[in-house]
Structure 1
Amino acid sequence: MSEAITRSATTSPDLLTSLEPLLREWLPRQRWFAGKGRPVTDFTLVAATELLPVTTQLGLYHLLVRAHQPALQGPGDCYQLLIGAREALPPRLAPARIGHVDRGPLTGRTVYDALYDARPAEVLLEAMRTRARIGALRFDRDGDGSGGGDDKGAAGGDGEGEIPAGLVARLVTAEQSNSSIVYGDTFILKLLRRVMPGVNPDLELPLALAREGCPRVPAPVAWIHTDADGTTDPSTETNAEDSYVLGVLQPFVRGAADGWELALRELAKGEDFSAEARALGRATAEVHLALARALPTVTLGHAQLRPLVDGMIERLEAAVQAVPALHPYAPGLRSAYEALADLAAEGRTWTAQRIHGDLHLGQCLRSPSGEWSLIDFEGEPSKPLAERRLSQPPARDIAGMLRSFDYAAHSLHPRLPGWAAVCRAAYCAGYAEITGLDPRTDPVLLRAYETDKAVYEVVYEARHRPDWLPVPMSAVQRLAAPG
């Protein structure tokens, strides 16, 4: 096992002051900025770490900054930034430009989003390879005592030689709520942009699944987090409220096809997707069973289920106010939730456990060998971490995937009649092959969760993609119908 490299990292107290005018303009334009539509009025520096001294040709800073906005409750969102500083920006980095600094320690330099630049990205990989400690930044790997466990199959054992030096980095340019870097088609680093203190399920759940020996989720190889005192394990509850998980490095599934893109491709060719849907159902079931073995489960009776139903009803009422087109369907949609509460009142119980939390076709990868993997266990990024980590019935994940098949079917014009229904049935059948339980045998539970998902989709599409609104509205019409 290689020794961790530790060094202090100091930054000028004037750094944020010099960057603030530029960040005020640049940050709201980023795809991953959550506070769209409201200006940034102020910044607070949460942490700053110098990764490469500015005296060299390239200066590199890691920042955690909190953006304050009017009419935003709470302290403001915290964002992870990797800021590069150069005397002159080469043309290839023009899309990454933040601006020219005219004050403070970086006066005369141009700053930019350093993730677009291979050299800074390689600095991060080298830090993970050597288990570096730089200021409050920790670059850890499983099996080194920081994440627990020493199973080589889980995340590499002692990891000696597991991350080779010199892998070439490239930024994944597809727009998303975070940023990803691929290293030599060997690893992919997901860097969280909007970060929160606490245990992040995007690290917690893949680690738990890896230690359980589940092959359906790429096992974390390394991760980046902050830690003021050197004792925090960001994958457990130990002092995690003081730690931010910043990034997770996992194996890159070379040649993998994104489930959403694959489904659209097959749709466009008029090809049957039911075999893939069945295999995806089996993969989902394997992940659910492994999570139930690895982490505690709970029983939901009437007392536990009523708050879940009340939450669904509150979301429906808010949605009806936001999207008046929902109003005629509100009674029928509410009946889906009340039917579930009625079953609980009659003594029915369900098992809740940790789940993916935001499952859809885009969160699945099929390898060239035909094996499916599930990725991105972050949950819904807009929700607090504590809410994302709650135990839920697996039906919530299943409902999300069923809705995803509907979305895929509606993306093709003219639509293939029955395509989504065939995929939905195949997915549930595949799930039953592994668990012995077909989700369709609990129609009340499945309808409630699918309704909750469709209501969420209506609000999202009305606000962001009005042209897509007919997709969830067609589901609303079906789910609101009696019987």
Structure 2
Amino acid sequence: MSVVDSQSGRITLSESWERILEGEGKARLEAALPGMLTRQRWFGGKARTLATAAVVEAIPLHLEATQAILLFIEVTYRDGVPETYVLPVTAAFGEDAEGIAREWPQAVLAQVAVAEAGSPRYGVLYDALWQEAFAHALLAAVGRGGRSSGRAGSLVAAATAAYRSIVPPESRLPACVMKTEQSNTSVRYGDRAMLKLYRRLQPGSNPDLEIGRFLTSVSFPYSPAVGGAIEYVRPGCEPMTVGLLQAFVPNQGDAWSMMLKAVESYLSRVPARAADVDPSLVAGGTLWEPGEAPEEVRQLIGPALASAACLGRRTGALHRTLARSEDPAFCPEPMIKDYRRARFASMARLWSDTRLLLTERGASLPPPMQDEASHLVDRGREVEAVFRALLEIEDAGLRIRCHGDYHLGQVLWTGSDYVIIDFEGEPARPLRERRTKQSPLLDVAGMLRSFDYAASAVVQSRRTAGIGFDEEPWADCWSRRVGAEFLTAYRREVETAAFWPRAPQAAEVLLAVHLLEKAVYELSYELNNRPEWVAIPLKGITDILNMNGTRAAAALGR
């Protein structure tokens, strides 16, 4: 039994805290959930108006010396479809509760009081992932396997063959929540393992698990080995991925941070060389046909060229590996007309929605961007023409499983090589879409746009700080040369692969289409979330139309 103190908001229980989901305790908890969720970094519904939050599944977890409950919380909104979020909860009392509230305030969900012989114990209900004992218990549960039953289904933990090579036997690795992620929460176990909890639950296997498990089974060297998983299973339903255990990758940071430093270093060298080097030589030709970079240009850009080439090779190796399977979930498929029509329709809708958004919000942009926005709106037919080129390609190659959300932030630098991480795909998309086979040039386009973002972000930061000169032309040169180095290395890696289009013009058209789709998506995102960044995708779309779009049309003979 439980009652609620209406003045303090504290949930008072007559017995143990584990009975919080009974009677008024459950109602009070559910009433407080919307506020709790919107404070969490991982909650994806902040931009929507919440209606209700209800506990739809509760799985008691009796793991070693710790007690917790895994909650599935269904969130409904004023409009749109509901979402289900995962939240493991436990409780602490007395000094332990005070320590948690002081050190991990973001983990605290509610105050509780448990009546014991007339003298209540006061404490907090909090996110169990922050409790080291719970984190260790989860790790052990994956290793030994097991099942915990809830109201409608069960939580099943299972290890892969790689588990024992990741987690040393009889070891107690220090466990702590990693604070860098947003849509999920990960626990790091020393320098050996990482357990990722997927906060948003969706029907089906998460591609992060599906692709990671496949790459582990074929010993792919450029991604973390998967050691196990936690899934929710119900009779007659496809398992849902709750957690993923994988090897921790000791690293010196992600490729995004590396490239930001590379751009900063490059721009600091430009003034001393500007009189001797023509920016057009730095830029070269096009991404597809860049021409040989003169030695003085390679020296000016520096190690970023070799880094980009290495990343191109690793990306090619990833795609070749993903395409080498007879498993129906991975076996390459032809890019038939029906698929291309569906993709074109999706791209056309994206552009239509983004163009409308740009028209509505263009007047609120800074004056220089207003003109660029207006010009882009006027070029709508050109955008549609590039997308329509997808329908006219005769040999578009094969569709394969791809990374799906590929950019510099999804690649770690170990000090000697790259490791590709996070195969979850774009979190905002349904799992069904994220598991769809695509042209590998979708990943390539994502990485090329990421190089462009890195260069533009540094210029924007330096301009805000009052540093530098007219740096945009030089940043464009860096982005184009580094991107071309990546693309050239990638093409050499995959040119004999069965999925690669036999006609070079077809591959060039596909790249133009996917580059434009990525840039339009970026524009929509920035208009909604970071208006001060709108200039980057605006310029990107214009450049693609001026260069890649024209070349794509020429390749099709139009």
Normalising by the residue count of structure 1, what TM-score does the alignment of the two structures yield? 0.85
- For the 8 Å contact 2:312–2:489, the answer to whether it is kept is yes
Q: Which residue number in structure 1 is paired with residue 365 of structure 2? A: none
Matched, 1:395 2:405: no
Tell me which of 308, 324, 337 is aligned to 1:277: 308
Identity over aligned pairs, percent: 31
- For the 8 Å contact 1:361–1:404, the answer to whether it is kept is yes
Q: Aligned ranges for residues 369-380 of structure 1 at < 5 Å?
A: 370-380=416-426
Tell me which of 120, 128, 131 is aligned to 1:114: 128
Letter of the aligned partner of 1:121 in structure 2? A
Matched, 1:410 2:456: yes
Q: Which residue number in structure 1 is paired with residue 244 of structure 2? A: 248
Distance (whole Å) between structure 1 residues aligned to residue 115 and residue 303 of structure 2 = 61
Give deviations 1:143-183, integer Å, cap 9, x for gaps: 4xxxxxxxxxxx35x77975553111111112421111110
Tell me which of 348, 355, 358 is aligned to 1:313: 348
Matched, 1:425 2:439: no
Q: Which residue number in structure 1 is paired with residue 383 of structure 2? A: 333
Tell me which of 132, 137, 141 is aligned to 2:155: 137
Matched, 1:446 2:508: no
TM-aligned CA deviation for residue 424 of structure 1: 0.7
Letter of the aligned partner of 2:91 in structure 1? A
Distance (whole Å) between structure 1 residues aligned to residue 538 and residue 167 of structure 2 = 53
TM-aligned CA deviation for residue 71 of structure 1: 1.4
Equivalenced residues, count: 444
- For the 8 Å contact 1:18–1:103, the answer to whether it is kept is no
Tell me which of 260, 267, 287 is aligned to 1:264: 260
- For the 8 Å contact 2:208–2:424, the answer to whether it is kept is yes
- For the 8 Å contact 1:101–1:108, the answer to whether it is kept is yes
Q: Which residue number in structure 2 is paired with residue 147 of structure 1? A: none
TM-aligned CA deviation for residue 40 of structure 1: 3.0
Aligned CA RMSD, in angstroms, stands at 2.6
Aligned to 2:104, the other structure's residue is in SS state helix
Change (3 A) 1:280 1:100: same
Normalising by the residue count of structure 2, what TM-score does the alignment of the two structures yield? 0.74
Single out whichever of 264-273 and 159-168 deviates more from structure 2.
Answer: 159-168
TM-aligned CA deviation for residue 107 of structure 1: 8.7
Q: Which residue number in structure 2 is paired with residue 361 of structure 1? A: 408
- For the 8 Å contact 1:329–1:477, the answer to whether it is kept is no
Letter of the aligned partner of 1:28 in structure 2? T
TM-aligned CA deviation for residue 120 of structure 1: 2.2
Aligned to 1:390, the other structure's residue is in SS state coil
Distance (whole Å) between structure 2 residues aligned to residue 401 and residue 171 of structure 1 = 29
Single out whichever of 35-44 and 285-294 deviates more from structure 2.
Answer: 35-44
Letter of the aligned partner of 2:136 in structure 1? E
TM-aligned CA deviation for residue 412 of structure 1: 1.1
Q: Which residue number in structure 1 is paired with residue 55 of structure 2? A: 45
Change (3 A) 1:189 1:301: same
- For the 8 Å contact 2:251–2:412, the answer to whether it is kept is no
Change (3 A) 1:102 1:259: same
Instruction: Name stretches of at least 5 consecutive residues in structure 2 with no aligned partner.
Output: 1-17, 267-301, 360-372, 460-467, 551-558
TM-aligned CA deviation for residue 104 of structure 1: 11
Letter of the aligned partner of 1:355 in structure 2? C
Single out whichever of 91-100 and 246-255 deviates more from structure 2.
Answer: 91-100
Letter of the aligned partner of 2:379 in structure 1? Y
Matched, 1:69 2:77: yes
Structure with more of its chain in helix, by fraction: 2
Aligned to 1:214, the other structure's residue is in SS state coil
Instruction: Name stretches of at least 5 consecutive residues in structure 1 with no aligned partner.
Output: 1-9, 144-154, 230-238
Q: Aligned ranges for residues 173-252 of structure 1 at < 5 Å?
A: 173-228=179-234, 241-252=237-248
- For the 8 Å contact 1:331–1:480, the answer to whether it is kept is no
Change (3 A) 1:163 1:327: farther
Tell me which of 379, 396, 399 is aligned to 1:352: 399
Change (3 A) 1:350 1:433: closer
Change (3 A) 1:163 1:359: farther
Matched, 1:81 2:87: yes
Distance (whole Å) between structure 2 residues aligned to residue 161 and residue 205 of structure 1 = 21
Q: Which runs of 4+ in 1 moved over 4 A?
A: 10-13, 102-108, 158-164, 437-441
Distance (whole Å) between structure 2 residues aligned to residue 273 and residue 387 of structure 1 = 34
Q: Which residue number in structure 2 is paired with residue 232 of structure 1? A: none
Larger CA Rg, structure 1 vs 2: 2
Letter of the aligned partner of 2:56 in structure 1? V
